[in-house]
Amino acid sequence: MGKLIPLILLLFGLGAGIGAGLYLRPQPLPPEQAEAEMELPDPPSGEALISYEFANQFMVPLVVEGRIVGTIVMRLALELPEAQLAHVQGNSARLRDGLLQVMFDHASSGGFEGVFTDHDRLGPLRRALLESAQMIVGRHAVTRVLITDILRAGM
């Protein structure tokens, strides 16, 4: 009987932990609400939006236990008002650096593992990329970051 009590307590604790985890798990947003959160304000009236695509791809190494096990190759474009094109082009090196840092952080937190193209995984990446770009060139200069190509090689 003395050996049975710790086993019962262990099973009770395990069950309570699983129950609490399931109860406290955040619920995914419905697709309509998730899309509404991703909507951005319209540019000032009369300004046409254009796309500025970076000349080179972004390459992000996937590191597991200190070894490179794969690579993510991405091509990005920025949606911006036409009047901001020269400003963005002049800061393209700073933009690449900032965007690469966001992608490195995303990779190191496991964002490119599993089904990495899922909306729940790419949504936070897009928001972080947009925040970084707006911090570098200004909130008015970039309205959206577009992921035009993405490839995971290796793994």
Question: pLDDT tens digit string along 60-115?
Answer: 998 888 888 889 899 999 999 988 989 999 999 999 999 999 999 998 888 888 88
For 83-95, how does the pLDDT look when each residue is reduced to its tens digit (9 = 90+)? 898 999 999 999 9
Q: For the chain, how many residues are written?
A: 155
C-beta separation of 30 from 38 below 8 A:
no
- CB burial class (10 A; 0-12, 13-18, 19+) of residue 132? buried
pTM of the model: 0.68
Q: Token pair of 27, please?
A: 């619920």
What is the pLDDT confidence band of residue 145, given thresholds at 50, 70 and 90?
Answer: very high
Q: What is the chain's mean pLDDT, rounded?
A: 83
C-beta separation of 150 from 50 below 8 A:
no
Gyration radius from the chain CA atoms: 22
C-beta separation of 34 from 126 below 8 A:
no
What is the pLDDT confidence band of residue 28, given thresholds at 50, 70 and 90?
Answer: low
- In this prediction, residues 29-44 reach a mean pLDDT of 55
- CB burial class (10 A; 0-12, 13-18, 19+) of residue 150? middle
Give the integer Cα–Cα distance in Å for 102 and 119.
17
